[in-house]
């Protein structure tokens, strides 16, 4: 059964567990939004998945590359409250002190399921 919650920024949330460093998300989790925040309950960070096309999805680790603080997805960009870094919706740094983009995770669509590789 698909359980979708909604974050305070109106982006749907999907809670799940990883298995062998893989997170699986049913593609119908994107029926209402091109964004989805995936919360792997056994991993220390959340993941924002962006639906770029019907078959192309981009997954970003919601952890600041400056000092590992969680980032929030607000107003189409990622913000870190610790020292103020801002990343655009593709994970590129807009404002430092972070210098590296958010980490991307390999994401494939197979049989109506997203396979997000945490390795
Ligand atoms: S940890 Fe995010 S800006 Fe420093």
| Tens digit of each residue's pLDDT (9 = 90 or more) over 35-58 | 999 999 999 999 999 999 999 999
φ, ψ dihedrals at 29, nearest 5°: -65, -10
CA–centroid distance, 112 to ligand 1, in Å, is 35
**Sheet of 107-110: strands edge to edge?**
22-26, 113-117, 107-110
pLDDT-derived band of residue 119, with 50, 70 and 90 as boundaries? Answer: confident
Interacting residues of 8 by C-beta distance below 8 A, sequence separation 6+: none
CATH number assigned to the domain with residue range 4-117, chosen from the 4 options 2.102.10.10, 3.20.20.140, 3.40.640.10, 3.40.50.360: 2.102.10.10
| Most informative mutation of 98, 101, 103 for ligand 1 (most atoms within 8 A of CB) | 98
pLDDT-derived band of residue 118, with 50, 70 and 90 as boundaries? Answer: very high
Mean pLDDT of the chain: 91
CA–centroid distance, 86 to ligand 1, in Å, is 9
CA–centroid distance, 10 to ligand 1, in Å, is 24
Domain spans in the chain, listed from the N-terminal domain onward: 4-117
Q: What is the pTM of this model?
A: 0.90
CA 63/CA 100 separation, integer angstroms: 11
Q: Where are the alpha helices (DSSP H) in the chain?
A: none
Instruction: Find which of 9-18, 25-34, 107-116 is predicted with most confidence, using mean pLDDT.
Output: 107-116
């Amino acid at each position: 059964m698909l359980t979708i919650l909604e974050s305070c920024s109106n982006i749907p949330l999907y809670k799940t567990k990883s298995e062998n460093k893989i997170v699986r998300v049913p593609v119908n989790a994107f029926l209402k939004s091109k964004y989805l925040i995936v919360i792997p309950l056994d991993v220390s960070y959340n993941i924002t998945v962006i639906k770029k096309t019907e078959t192309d999805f981009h997954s970003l680790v919601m952890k600041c590359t400056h000092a590992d603080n969680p980032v929030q997805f607000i107003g189409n960009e990622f913000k870190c409250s610790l020292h103020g870094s801002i990343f655009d919706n593709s994970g590129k740094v807009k404002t430092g002190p972070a210098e590296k983009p958010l980490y991307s995770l390999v994401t494939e669509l197979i049989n109506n399921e997203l396979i997000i590789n945490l390795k």
